[in-house]
Amino acid sequence: MTNEDKRKGIIVGHYGVAVDVKFDDGLIESIRVKRKSGHVVGDYIYMDGNFLKRMERNTIVHRRSQGGSTHVVASNLDVLGIVVSSTPVSPKGFIDRTIVAARSSSVNPFIVVNKSDLESSVTLYNEIKPVYESSIPVFLANTIDNNGIDSIKNYFSAGLRGAFVGVSGVGKSSILNSMCKDIELVTGELSYRNEKGRHTTTTSTLHELDTGGELIDTPGFRDFGVANILVDELSEYYCGFDNLKEGYCKFRNCLHVNEPDCHVKSCLESNELSESRYETYLSLLSDIKKSSI
């Protein structure tokens, strides 16, 4: 039997020693795997006898945990949805780090500001929108009256495959439930004590949307650290340098810190680049330097 004839599918759920595979004939089956198989939701697989074999990945999004270990969030994505809300608050720099992680994996990031029924989330949206909207899509939505949910569905309807990432409690699972009537993910109240999420979702799962496209719900985490990129790659992916007027730095591997004839620094001096965007870049640069030591 050639590889062409083997049963193929995609991993749609991951449960430690077993994965749920949706085969090309539409059937979903649970298949046992080794605990540290390294498979993730989004992986294309084929069956070799009773064994599941992973095919080469097109895209891989990595995340560094606070403990310093690297995780694969999902594979074979077109887009990555960064979900935030006014409560719980996401860590400083979270959006920028996640954008860099997505872009460095050739995955297009977008932002969803959820809980627009809360005035504080609308304020957050008004802060975020002018910074990012010229580079990536920024949506405002809520799952109470579902305002804004159709725009996210339209975005996916071209047949995109994406994943939602964000801290626990921002409403990733709730948005998925609102996007498709067949999806019934468990959602959880915030803790009364500190208004943080309770890590309700514990495994990643992939869902087909009835209006087109596929979306992976992922467990919330405390922060999204950038992994597997080099310091001189950062400015290529950083959101804020991409719309600067045409120009070149003297050195090809310029880090835009102290180098002479730096185009980014000249844009900063002429106020084309804001101080705060530049400072966020410097803090990401410092994070990446530290993590690569």
- Judged by the rule CB under 6 A, the positions of this chain that interact with ligand GTP are 114-115, 117-118, 142-144, 166, 168-174, 187-190, 197-201, 219-220
Q: Angle 33-39-41 (CA atoms, 0-180°, nearest 5)?
A: 115
If the CB atoms of residues 98 and 201 are measured against Mg ion, the closer one turns out to be 201
CA dihedral over 266, 269, 272, 277, signed as positive or negative: positive
**Least distance between Mg ion and beta carbon 255 (Å):** 37
| CB of 198 vs Mg ion, minimal distance in Å | 10
Compute the distance between CA of residue 71 and CA of residue 289 in angstroms, rounded to an integer: 19
Give yes or no for a contact between 143 and 177, defined as CB atoms under 8 angstroms apart: yes
Indicate the residue among 214 and 217 with the shorter CB distance to ligand GTP: 217
Kindly indicate which of the ranges 150-158, 166-174, 239-247, 273-281 contains the residues binding Mg ion, using the contact rule CB under 5 A. 166-174
Here's the x/- map for Mg ion, 174-203, by CB under 5 A: it reads as --------------------------xx--
Other C-beta atoms closer than 10 Å to the C-beta of 140 total: 20
Residue 150 CB, shortest distance to ligand GTP, in Å, is 14
| Residue number, 173 or 280, with CB nearest to ligand GTP | 173
- The beta-strand segments (E) located in 85-160 are 108-113, 138-140
In 3D space, the residue among 166, 164, 175, 155 whose CA is nearest the CA of residue 206 turns out to be: 164
Pairing of strands 51-54, 44-48: antiparallel
Q: How far is the CB of 202 from ligand GTP (least distance, A)?
A: 8
Min dist CB 46 to Mg ion, Å, is 30
For ligand GTP, the closer of residues 8 and 129 by Cβ is 129
